[in-house]
């Protein structure tokens, strides 16, 4: 196939650029310079016959944690191999599973690296989380007799439109034809996979694993404690989480409108990526608002206007402290939105911007039940957030409706485990 020849040549040509990127990124984040041999498939000793789970980054590692634990219970005799693509994902995997699983980087998608990885790991099955499709990795798994499954698989309408264009059309068909089972996040996603070339009998709508995240009562307790520490029991708290470049400016405009109506509101801003913390701090420092930086241990008082949440792993606690939530990656194009199920599961009403391609069907359901608003302008964002912030009874009712909707969609975990068990026992 011509496209495979071209693709394989391209992977070799860009390999020096990729390692150059790791070196450049490593100046700020040293972890990018570590374990480079794994990027070439030299993963060292790992138990053969493992259940291999690939979760690209932090979000996927968190998402797949209940599935990993369910597989541990179902197949206690099988070792576990977890691969990630990013240092932050690797770190989170080590914290959660390092005492009972081998943690490695997934190889770069060159023929040699993927072949070495499959030969050295020799896994019993490969579980790819969401839509991690790489031609050489899939081809190497097929040659090595390793069945692959996709869990929580999704493909947006926009992505599906790109995949049907040449040469992606041929590559997509090649990959999907070699995956033994696809557990799609919804009926709509399942239909798109079939249209892209996946065999109809290998695709099933198992549901979205994000709906199966276990409740953590400690999160609510920590949120209430945080409100008390911030002397914010009577203040409206608006949490803007997972924000990207270009969104903070829009949020500040919305906050200005919001504060013109409700003088006591507190904004908590949590940028998505740690490398942007300082830049956002500089932006906030140039505003007229009183800022507290959480990483610096700044005290939050009644006169504090904005908290910069420049820490890791605390977003669920901030959600639990909130009256209203904004979920980022949705006010600027090209990202597609972030996890809206998390605030809904905590019973918090939320807003998003218009660019929610990756979450459209989920947002639609939460909008329909009254738990969410899609806001296209700072004015609409201020209106929706201010409405819920002032009328707390309606906010609680909206949040309760969102929580009930999330719970009604649960069940993907059990269906995904059943699909994996079927492939392990029958090979299909």
pLDDT digits (tens, 9 = 90+) for 220-232: 999 999 999 998 7
Q: What is the pLDDT of residue 73?
A: 95
Give all strands of the β-sheet with 237-243 in edge-to-edge order. 291-293, 306-308, 266-271, 237-243, 324-327, 350-352, 372-374
pLDDT-derived band at 259 (thresholds 50, 70, 90) equals confident
pLDDT-derived band at 216 (thresholds 50, 70, 90) equals confident
Distances (CA, A) of 419 to 24, 60, 397: 41, 19, 36
Sign of the Cα torsion 131, 137, 142, 148 reads: negative
CB contact at 8 A, 319 and 346: yes
Of the candidates 136, 352, 153, 164, the one whose C-alpha atom is nearest the C-alpha of residue 241 is 352
Give the CB-side neighbour count of residue 121, counting CA atoms within 13 A: 37
pLDDT digits (tens, 9 = 90+) for 311-326: 988 999 999 999 999 9
- Distance in angstroms (rounded) separating the CA atoms of residues 53 and 333: 30
Domains belonging to the chain, first-starting first, are: 2-207+411-426 (3.40.50.11720), 217-408 (3.40.50.2000)
- Distance in angstroms (rounded) separating the CA atoms of residues 303 and 263: 10
Q: Strand pairing of 266-271 and 306-308?
A: parallel
- Distance in angstroms (rounded) separating the CA atoms of residues 327 and 270: 10
Q: What is the pLDDT of residue 61?
A: 93
- Distance in angstroms (rounded) separating the CA atoms of residues 205 and 229: 44
pLDDT-derived band at 386 (thresholds 50, 70, 90) equals confident
Would you say residue 233 has pLDDT above 80?
Answer: no
Lowest mean pLDDT of 66-80, 238-252, 375-389, name the range. Answer: 375-389
SS3 state at 269: strand
Alpha helices in 126-186 (DSSP H): 135-143, 157-163, 168-176
- Distance in angstroms (rounded) separating the CA atoms of residues 123 and 160: 30
Q: Is 60 a catalytic residue?
A: yes
- Run of H or E including 54: strand 51-54
Would you say residue 243 has pLDDT above 90?
Answer: yes
SS3 state at 302: coil
Of the candidates 316, 315, 249, the one whose C-alpha atom is nearest the C-alpha of residue 280 is 249
pLDDT-derived band at 260 (thresholds 50, 70, 90) equals confident
Would you say residue 351 has pLDDT above 90?
Answer: yes
* 406-418 average pLDDT score: 95
Would you say residue 214 has pLDDT above 90?
Answer: no
Instruction: Give the length of the chain.
Output: 428
Percent of the chain with pLDDT over 70: 98
- Distance in angstroms (rounded) separating the CA atoms of residues 256 and 191: 43
Q: What is the pLDDT of residue 213?
A: 80
Tell me which of 29, 34, 38, 60 is the catalytic residue. Answer: 60
At 272, give phi and psi (nearest 5°): -65, -40
Of the candidates 50, 115, 112, the one whose C-alpha atom is nearest the C-alpha of residue 83 is 50
Of the candidates 332, 353, 360, the one whose C-alpha atom is nearest the C-alpha of residue 158 is 360
* 233-242 average pLDDT score: 91
- Distance in angstroms (rounded) separating the CA atoms of residues 228 and 207: 38
* 407-411 average pLDDT score: 93
- Distance in angstroms (rounded) separating the CA atoms of residues 356 and 340: 10
Mean residue pLDDT across the chain: 92
Give the CB-side neighbour count of residue 186, counting CA atoms within 13 A: 17
Q: Model-level pTM? A: 0.83
- Distance in angstroms (rounded) separating the CA atoms of residues 42 and 44: 6
SS3 state at 125: strand
- Distance in angstroms (rounded) separating the CA atoms of residues 343 and 15: 40
* 298-320 average pLDDT score: 94
Q: Which one has a higher pLDDT value, 161 or 376?
A: 376
Q: What is the pLDDT of residue 107?
A: 97
Would you say residue 364 has pLDDT above 80?
Answer: yes
CB contact at 8 A, 193 and 184: yes
Would you say residue 58 has pLDDT above 90?
Answer: no
pLDDT digits (tens, 9 = 90+) for 115-147: 999 999 999 999 999 988 999 999 999 999 999
CB contact at 8 A, 245 and 332: yes
CB contact at 8 A, 198 and 402: no
Would you say residue 35 has pLDDT above 90?
Answer: yes
């Amino acid at each position: 196939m011509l496209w495979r020849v071209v693709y394989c040549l391209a992977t070799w040509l860009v390999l020096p650029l990729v390692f150059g990127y790791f070196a450049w990124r490593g100046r700020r984040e040293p972890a990018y310079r570590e374990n480079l041999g794994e990027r070439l498939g030299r993963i060292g000793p790992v138990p053969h016959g493992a259940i291999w789970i690939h979760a690209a980054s932090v979000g996927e590692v968190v998402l797949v944690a209940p599935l990993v634990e369910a597989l541990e219970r179902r197949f206690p005799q099988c070792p576990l191999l977890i691969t990630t693509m990013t240092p932050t994902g690797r770190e989170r995997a080590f914290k959660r599973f390092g005492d009972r699983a081998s943690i490695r980087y997934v190889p770069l998608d060159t023929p040699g690296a993927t072949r070495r990885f499959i030969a050295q790991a020799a896994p019993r099955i490969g579980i790819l989380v969401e839509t991690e499709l790489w031609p050489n990795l899939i081809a190497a798994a097929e040659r090595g007799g390793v069945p692959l499954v996709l869990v929580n698989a999704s493909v947006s309408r926009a992505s599906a439109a790109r995949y049907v264009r040449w040469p992606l059309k041929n590559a997509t068909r090649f990959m999907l034809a070699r995956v033994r089972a696809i557990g799609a996040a919804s009926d709509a996603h399942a239909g798109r996979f079939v249209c892209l070339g996946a065999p109809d009998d290998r695709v099933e709508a198992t549901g979205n694993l994000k709906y199966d995240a276990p409740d953590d009562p400690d999160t609510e307790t920590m949120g209430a404690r945080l409100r008390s520490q911030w002397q914010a029991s009577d203040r409206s708290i608006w949490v803007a989480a997972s924000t990207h470049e270009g969104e903070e400016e829009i949020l500040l405009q919305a906050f200005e409108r919001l504060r013109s109506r409700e003088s006591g509101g507190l904004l908590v801003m949590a940028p998505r990526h740690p490398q942007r913390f300082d830049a956002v701090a500089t932006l906030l420092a140039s505003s007229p608002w009183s800022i507290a930086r959480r990483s610096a241990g700044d005290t939050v008082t009644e006169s504090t206007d904005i908290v910069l949440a420049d820490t890791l792993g605390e977003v669920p606690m901030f959600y639990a402290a909130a009256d209203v939530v904004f979920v980022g990656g949705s006010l600027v194009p090209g990202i597609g939105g972030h996890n809206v199920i998390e605030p809904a599961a905590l019973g918090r009403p939320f807003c998003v911007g218009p660019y929610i391609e990756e979450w459209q069907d989920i947002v639609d359901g939460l909008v329909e039940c009254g738990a969410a608003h899609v806001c296209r302008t700072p004015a609409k964002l201020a209106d929706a957030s201010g409405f819920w912030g002032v009328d707390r009874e309606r906010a609680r009712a909206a949040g309760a409706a969102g929580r009930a909707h999330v719970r009604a969609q649960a069940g993907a975990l059990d269906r995904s485990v059943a699909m994996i068990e079927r492939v392990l026992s029958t090979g299909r």
